[in-house]
Copies of this chain bind each other. A is one copy, B any other.
Amino acid sequence: MKNDSRLSRMLHVLIHMDQLAGAATSEQIAQMLSTNPVVVRRTLAGLREQGYVRSLKGPGGGWSLARKLEEISLADIHRALDSPRLFAISATVDHAGCLVEQAVNAALSSAFDEAEQALLARLDSISLADVARDFARRARRKSARP
């Protein structure tokens, strides 16, 4: 199964957007992510619907933050991406009605559901501002000993 990298990419972009003066074009963002402007617009569209970013057409246009980093959690972005599947593993219904299968799926589902809740809670507790502060820390450390 191929990996979904949208969450990682969007978090990266949002923090860069916060540090830029004006707006960033899809073209510029695409270069940050080593990808195509259309992919950027497609993915950012979801965040715009949820009010996290704005987009403007025409010269001088592009994408900019609509809210402060402090007000956005990592889980918010996950949800704005339509809550993609977190797990690569899932139960099956190969033989509907089989009680063995049902018992197996019940055991697996409870474990995975619990893990998902814990993970989302954790992602909800981290704001983009937290990540930006960690970035600033890394930048200071790097300039201190180059």
Binding site for B on A (CB under 8 A): 1-5, 7-9, 11-12, 15-16, 32-35, 74, 84-92, 94-95, 98-108, 111-112, 114-115, 118-119, 122-123, 126, 130-132, 134-135, 138-139, 142
How far apart are A115's CB and chain B's nearest CB, in angstroms?
4
Bound CA–CA A99/B145 (angstroms): 15
Query: Would you mind naming 13 contact pairs between A and B with Cβ atoms under 8 Å apart?
Result: A1-B2, A1-B85, A5-B89, A7-B89, A8-B104, A9-B94, A11-B104, A12-B100, A12-B101, A15-B104, A32-B95, A112-B119, A114-B119
Q: Across the interface, do A105 and B33 meet the contact criterion of CB distance under 8 Å?
A: no
Main secondary structure of the interface of A (DSSP, over half): helix
**With contact pairs A12-B98, A107-B74 given, residues A4 and B90 touching in the complex (Cβ less than 8 Å):** yes
Counting every copy of the chain, the complex holds 2
Bound CA–CA A103/B141 (angstroms): 13
- What chain B residues lie within 8 Å of A108 (beta carbons)? 7-8, 11, 74
From the candidates B8, B87, B114, B131, name the one contacting A88 in the complex (CB within 8 A).
B87
- What chain B residues lie within 8 Å of A88 (beta carbons)? 1, 3-4, 84-88
Q: Across the interface, do A134 and B107 meet the contact criterion of CB distance under 8 Å?
A: yes
